């Protein structure tokens, strides 16, 4: 699960076509902005990531890849070995039954924080979505859009110089 940030928008389509001729300008202006905004988005997400062991926070990653007009920023859990369960608190879960595998024991904590072990099925009522990744993106989206627009203006000014 991750959020991707790229430079596609109707406002910059013409400039992107021009930047295919001058990809170094995209690297020069969009690159630093994208790296800064991706780090800010990561910092916003990490504040709301649920913590039990801290693994989800430690494994939250961010990166900017590509060159020229194909620069893309990504924040989330996208590497091998990242916690598989992080999408459960993000998107919520439906009521369901957990079945232990043959010869296995289920281990869980009840609402009162008491610890339980069982070989039987356990019914789980489900959880509501916390949406910490989506909420951070909703808060950061205007900043990202404005920063990319300012970078775009800087490119237009540089292209306009004689």
33, 147 contact by CB (below 8 A): yes
Q: Are residues 68 and 38 in the same domain?
A: yes
pLDDT of residue 85: 86
Q: Are residues 14 and 58 in the same domain?
A: yes
Q: Are residues 113 and 143 in the same domain?
A: no
pLDDT of residue 95: 95
Q: Are residues 6 and 35 in the same domain?
A: yes
Q: Are residues 77 and 115 in the same domain?
A: no
pLDDT of residue 73: 93
Task: Count Cα atoms within 13 angstroms, Cβ side, for 127.
Answer: 13
- Going residue by residue through the chain (162 aa), what tens digit of pLDDT does each one get? 677 776 556 556 666 666 677 778 888 999 999 999 999 999 999 999 988 788 889 999 999 999 887 889 999 998 888 888 898 889 999 999 988 888 888 888 888 889 989 888 888 888 899 999 999 999 999 999 999 889 988 888 887 766
Q: Are residues 59 and 132 in the same domain?
A: yes
Q: Are residues 42 and 27 in the same domain?
A: yes
> Domain containing 58: what range?
2-90+128-160
d(CA 47, CA 41): 10
**Domain count within the chain:** 2
Q: Are residues 152 and 74 in the same domain?
A: yes
Q: What pTM does this model have?
A: 0.75
């Amino acid at each position: 699960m991750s959020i991707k940030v790229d430079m596609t928008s109707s406002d910059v389509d013409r400039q992107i076509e021009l930047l295919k001729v001058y990809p170094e300008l995209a690297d020069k202006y969009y690159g630093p902005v994208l790296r800064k905004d991706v780090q800010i988005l990561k910092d916003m997400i990490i504040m709301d990531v649920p913590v039990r062991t801290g693994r989800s926070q430690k494994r939250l990653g961010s990166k900017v890849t590509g060159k020229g007009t194909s620069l893309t920023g990504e924040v989330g859990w996208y590497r091998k070995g990242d916690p598989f369960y992080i999408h459960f608190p993000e998107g919520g879960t439906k009521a369901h039954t957990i079945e232990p595998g043959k010869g296995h024991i289920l281990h869980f904590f009840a609402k009162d924080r008491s610890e339980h072990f069982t070989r039987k099925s356990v019914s789980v009522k489900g959880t509501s979505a916390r949406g910490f990744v989506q909420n951070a993106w909703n808060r950061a989206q205007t900043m990202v859009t404005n920063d990319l627009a300012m970078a775009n203006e800087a490119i237009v000014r540089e292209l306009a110089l004689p």
